[in-house]
Amino acid sequence: MTTGPLAGCRVVELGGIGPGPFAGMLLADLGAEVVRVDRPERADEPDAGGPADVLDRGKRSVVLDLKHPAGSAALLRLVERADVLIEGFRPGVTERLGIGPHDCLARNPRLVYGRMTGWGQDGPLAAAAGHDITYIALTGALGAIGDADGPPQIPLNLVGDFGGGGCYLVIGVLAALHAAARTGRGQVVDAAIVDGTAHLLASTFAKLGRDEWSDERGVNRFDGGWPFYAVYETKDGRHMAVGALERKFYRCLVALLDLGVDPDRQHDRSTWPELRRLLTKRFAERTRDEWAELFEGTDACVAPVLSLTEAAAHPHLAARGSLFTRDGVVQPAAAPRFSATPSSPGRTAPPVGADTRAVFRDWGVDAPVQAAPVQAAPAQIPD
């Protein structure tokens, strides 16, 4: 029995990739009972289930052939007992399968139906294929990231898939659950990565509107354009991140580095080319770890740039348990944290279809055996 703030909430997740499974993982971390419904062929995929399948941790796994009437009928029976359904298909797919919002809300008027797409449910590109990089390209986010004299830099798929996508789907689901508790009526949540990414750019657009941001790359406050908010290479070819924006932090930075510059001229742009040269030269004099030791615990706002594997061993992250290792796989702990209803990462992702019988039994659903066989799945829907 989970103790998170969403304990008792039942979520049906239609199996997909990227932001949808991430949203399901986050809901599971928060205590919801998440059942992932997969197509039969996923059982043959090597990355499905097991310790490395971090995005499916804390969930139970059911296999249904939703292209077959028996499979879609069984899903609708689960929907009758669910609080939330999330799906990440292209617009119109679930409608064609007979499990769209109209079908599901007719069975369960309190249901929150979360839809995760890149382009949204409507608009000229709604039916087009895409990926994180294409979504953030059209919002302006990608074009704003990178050096002034280089191409845009891809910020992994954090900004689109997970920041503007999965996180916004969860925000929408939680808000709709709150409304359903108050009104007794569910609704559809249309979470589009382009919408979420644009929303994440609110502060940047505000600065652009105040002429505090130039619509070009690598010349602004948070894109490396300011020399005291940038990354510098160290003697060993590694890097230090400098974020000394405020005056008192900048004073600490120049004092610790003994740069010999006037800290009161921090925002005198005529001094910035020389300041950047001095910072580049000084950081190249020591290794990253030597600089990290010097700056540790100071107010200079300087930190070593760690690799993913190094991050798990950093004393601060280790003390908080921000990352942990399970079965040899480093993964994030549940976030955020709660004082009264603590959340926690759920069990390792089970094999695909391992919980089919148990889920239908526990949810009190009497579903027929599928007419289409479930290949390589550990279990089928019970009689």
Looking from the CA of 359 toward its CB, the CA atoms found within 13 Å total 30
Strands 84-87 and 33-38: unpaired
Per-state percent for the chain, helix, strand, coil, to nearest 5 = 40, 15, 45
DSSP string, 264-327: GGTT-GGGHHHHHHHHHHHHTTS-HHHHHHHHTTSSS-EEE---HHHHTT-HHHHHHTSEEEET
169 φ/ψ angles, rounded to the nearest 5 degrees: -65, -45
CA gyration radius, the chain: 25
131 is catalytic: yes
Q: Pull the structure tokens for residue 213.
A: 């941001």
How many residues can be counted in the chain?
383
Active-site residue, from 68, 131, 239, 314: 131
Looking up tokens 């005056």 gives: 247
Tokens 């992702």 belong to which residue?
Answer: 349
Active-site pick, 161, 195, 223, 355: 161
Which residue is listed with tokens 């294929």?
A: 129
Q: Which residues, in sequence order, are bridge partners of residue 60?
A: 35
Number of neighbouring beta carbons within 10 Å of residue 248: 12
User: Which of 352, 235, 323 has its CA nearest to residue 284?
Assistant: 235
Distance from C-alpha of 1 to C-alpha of 356, rounded to nearest angstrom: 19
161 is catalytic: yes
At 323, list the tokens: 């990352």
Annotated catalytic residues are: 131, 161
